[in-house]
Amino acid sequence: MRKHFAEQGFVFASLVKWVLLSSLMGVIIGAMISLFLKILSMAESSRELLPFPYYFTLPFALVLTVYVIKKLAPNAEGHGTEKVIEAIHKSDGKVEIAILPVKVLATVISIFSGASVGKEGPGAQLGAAASSFVSSLLHFNTHDRKKLVICGISAGFASVFGTPIAGAIFGIEILIVGTIMYDVLLPSIIAGFTAFLTAQYMGVEYSYFVLKNYYTDIPLNIHFVIMVVLAGLFFGIVTDFFVTFLHWTHHWIKNLKWHWLLKPFVAGVFMAALSYFIGDRYLGLGFDTIKESLSPFTANENVYWYDTIGKIFFTSLSLGGGASGGIITPVFYIGAASGNLFGHLVGDHVAFFAALGFVSVLAGATNAPIAAIIMAGELFGLEVAHYAAVTAVISFLMTGHRSVFPSQILAMKKSQHLKIKLGEEIENVEIDYQDENYIRKIRDMKERMRARRKLLKKRSTKERKRGNK
């Protein structure tokens, strides 16, 4: 009995400690994210002051972004989330505090000029940097520092997305593919909720797309279920193409034997020239297209079949060219636009499939199906979440062992017939056939079929000879 009470005492003390710590970090990060989002909003509004199209600043903005990051805080490079995951796995959760001002400045410059990036990656990086700084002030050990930094990541996502539970789960799920760290679950959710409520209190407004009233007539029959399964396969193909093209573009630009400041300048010139002729619908955050894709009333109008390809191209070129910003907002755009396209292909429920694409491409691109399913419920209502559970998991599996976050640790195989060393970063994973028995069965089956064909051929030859006699 004494051991029982001692155990409960330690658990209670730990619970109180992390409830207080995660709540404190949630308030701090929620306030920081609110300020960050307001600065971004002001930057986007100030585009109107320019006497020329804002995207003409892209070449100079990308050069300035790359220069500032390289000289002041190299770890602020890229879309933010990847560096945070890397810090958890390789640096015991240590994130430089210098990242805070540099990341904010670089992201504001990038989004102001129209780079096709998002705002959630910098939000996660800001949350991680603040948590790491507090951990150093309190002289936390390695375990507690990593735990608090993960809470900071979750708080950053929750306050940017406007989905406290999904954001909190997302911050945990993206670290290790196939495993959720349950010891960080409660403090991450508390940090996410607190950050979300703080951001709301400070005036941050979020967009929700509750489709309950519109989709009360969704049929429940075998034909519609087949359409949902096909949608999951379609989103998996789209996600795989996006992730592959993103990494290919990054490596291609990186391997160019040009001056390091010439690369972002040329990328910016190319995107600005394209935007001058085709418009700016693939630049910036792209919320207008996302909202139109998800609207039951305008889903047939201002969204085009090629928007998915256009956004993939501009996002890959922006990040490959050195822009600073997140990748999840472009993922939302790609998902909603591809779902809109699928809805048109099957001829009905366009906005419904756009909602499924919104979360399913997220599940596949980030290897976070559980967070994606919860997000479907928080953003669109449970009516959509039930179907999103199917498409999100299919997309997650269809994307294979790839991710927009190469530093994720792989803890599961998506097929038992593959030979994969678990515990490695996704970018270093080598894939081969594993199931020798399975391969042997296939080989034996081919041999039997070949022998049967030979036997049938012999018999037919004998029958022909008999017929001739």
311 and 457 belong to one structural domain:
no
Query: Residues 93-119: what's their mean pLDDT?
Result: 88
CA separation (Å) from 173 to 200, 318, 419? 25, 26, 23
- Rounded Cα distance between 246 and 33, Å, is 27
183 and 267 belong to one structural domain:
no
Backbone angles phi and psi of 420, in degrees to 5: -135, 135
194 and 228 belong to one structural domain:
no
Whether residue 90 is predicted with pLDDT greater than 90 in this model: the reply is no
Domain coverage including residue 440? 435-469
245 and 394 belong to one structural domain:
yes
Backbone angles phi and psi of 208, in degrees to 5: -120, 150
Take residue 396 and report the two structure tokens written for it.
Answer: 């997650």
Position 67: which residue type?
Y
Kindly give, in sequence order, each residue whose CB lies less than 8 Å from that of residue 106, ignoring residues fewer than 6 positions away: 65, 68, 69, 76, 324
Take residue 1 and report the two structure tokens written for it.
Answer: 């009995």
- With beta carbons less than 8 A apart as the criterion, state whether 86 and 21 touch: no
405 and 456 belong to one structural domain:
no
Q: What is the pLDDT of residue 383?
A: 80
Give residue-wise pLDDT tens across range 39-49: 988 988 898 88
- With beta carbons less than 8 A apart as the criterion, state whether 81 and 405 touch: yes
Name the band, by pLDDT with cuts 50, 70 and 90, for residue 460.
Answer: low
Whether residue 63 is predicted with pLDDT greater than 70 in this model: the reply is yes
- Rounded Cα distance between 424 and 427, Å, is 8
On whether residue 350 sits in a domain, the answer given is yes
Q: What is the pLDDT of residue 464?
A: 61
- With beta carbons less than 8 A apart as the criterion, state whether 208 and 381 touch: no
DSSP-assigned states of every residue in 167-222: HHHHHHHTTEET---GGGHHHHHHHHHHHHHHHHHTT--------TTTTTT---SH
On whether residue 229 sits in a domain, the answer given is yes
- With beta carbons less than 8 A apart as the criterion, state whether 110 and 54 touch: no
On whether residue 399 sits in a domain, the answer given is yes
Give residue-wise pLDDT tens across range 148-199: 999 999 999 999 888 889 988 998 999 999 888 888 999 999 999 999 999 9
Name the band, by pLDDT with cuts 50, 70 and 90, for residue 110.
Answer: very high
On whether residue 214 sits in a domain, the answer given is no
Give residue-wise pLDDT tens across range 285-302: 888 888 888 887 655 568
On whether residue 327 sits in a domain, the answer given is yes
CATH number at residue 399: 1.10.3080.10
Q: What is the pLDDT of residue 463?
A: 62
Q: What is the pLDDT of residue 348?
A: 78
59 and 192 belong to one structural domain:
yes
338 and 262 belong to one structural domain:
yes
- Asked which of 151, 168, 201 is the last residue of a domain, the reply is 201
- Rounded Cα distance between 342 and 351, Å, is 10
Q: What is the pLDDT of residue 415?
A: 78
Whole-model pTM: value is: 0.88
Residue with tokens 């679950």: 185
467 and 339 belong to one structural domain:
no
Taking residue 422's Cβ as centre, other Cβ atoms within 10 Å add up to 12
189 and 74 belong to one structural domain:
yes
Name the band, by pLDDT with cuts 50, 70 and 90, for residue 316.
Answer: very high
- Asked which of 201, 234, 262 is the last residue of a domain, the reply is 201
392 and 454 belong to one structural domain:
no
Q: What are the residue ranges of helices labelled H in 46-98? A: 58-72, 81-90
Name the band, by pLDDT with cuts 50, 70 and 90, for residue 338.
Answer: very high
Q: What is the pLDDT of residue 326?
A: 87
On whether residue 421 sits in a domain, the answer given is no
Looking at the chain, the whole-number percentage of residues with pLDDT higher than 70 is 89
228 and 133 belong to one structural domain:
no
On whether residue 209 sits in a domain, the answer given is no
Q: Tell me the pLDDT of the chain averaged across its residues.
A: 86
Range ranked top by mean pLDDT from 71-75, 91-95, 258-262:
258-262
Query: Residues 55-71: what's their mean pLDDT?
Result: 93
Q: What is the CA radius of gyration of the chain?
A: 25
181 and 319 belong to one structural domain:
no
The count of domains in the chain is: 3
The answer to which of 49-58, 71-80, 115-124 has the lowest mean pLDDT is 71-80
- With beta carbons less than 8 A apart as the criterion, state whether 62 and 113 touch: yes
On whether residue 216 sits in a domain, the answer given is no
Kindly give, in sequence order, each residue whose CB lies less than 8 Å from that of residue 365, ignoring residues fewer than 6 positions away: 239, 242, 243, 327, 331, 399, 403, 404
Q: What is the pLDDT of residue 154?
A: 92
